[in-house]
Structure 1
Amino acid sequence: MPVTYKFIKEPTNRWYIDLPDWQGVHADLEMVEGADTMLDYVGQGAREVELQLAEEPFENATPLQLIEDYRDHVGGGIYLLAQYNGEVLNQKMWLCGVTEFVFGKLPEVIYFRKV
């Protein structure tokens, strides 16, 4: 079942996931290394983007495929957004260890849909 998460582009023009239960430092929540580019693309200029995320496919969801596992190195992994809304992107992005906080593990595929 998809869960909705909010991503906010702060005045510094950096994207962060809004996780009220996060106990770590705010900087850990920054979306970097391609994830920020994906949010710019999906958000189409918006400063806030809400995405539904799930490990299982759901209606109108787009997959992010894990292509490199970095858990034993820096944490998280490299995911590929092959296409979005029918447009081929082949956008690679690093999703850090916070992904494991959100899902309880590093999923092989993350499905998302803009709300």
Structure 2
Amino acid sequence: MLLKHNPDSWIPYGHEHVIRVAAPYFKNVFYSDGRLDYVKTNREWTKRFYKFSLKKYLWFASLVPKLFTDKEFRHQLAVLRVRPNRVCFEREIMGHARLVFEKI
């Protein structure tokens, strides 16, 4: 799902790679893993997304015909339902590195 949703993206595996590539020009001065922060933030976004609003749900209802006619739209709904980014962070498949560099 992630590859289809973000087909042209490249996500480095591990922060060490980013630090190593930057090393000739930058010194890493700070690293922290914000993976759990991302999971919590994503849960809050989801709560707000589903919070009731008549205007929003009327708009959702207007999309029902698209559900039957657009395969890509159905895929996008599957992404919303599964939330593959959050699943990857919860299962520790991906991290969320915070890096601060100083120019050498």
TM-score interval for Structure 1 and Structure 2 normalised by the shorter chain = under 0.3
Structure showing the higher helix proportion among its residues: 2
Pick the structure with greater CA Rg: 2
Length-normalised TM-score, structure 2: 0.24
Greater strand proportion = 1
- Choose between structure 1 and 2 for higher RCO, CA contacts under 8 A separated by at least 6 residues: 2
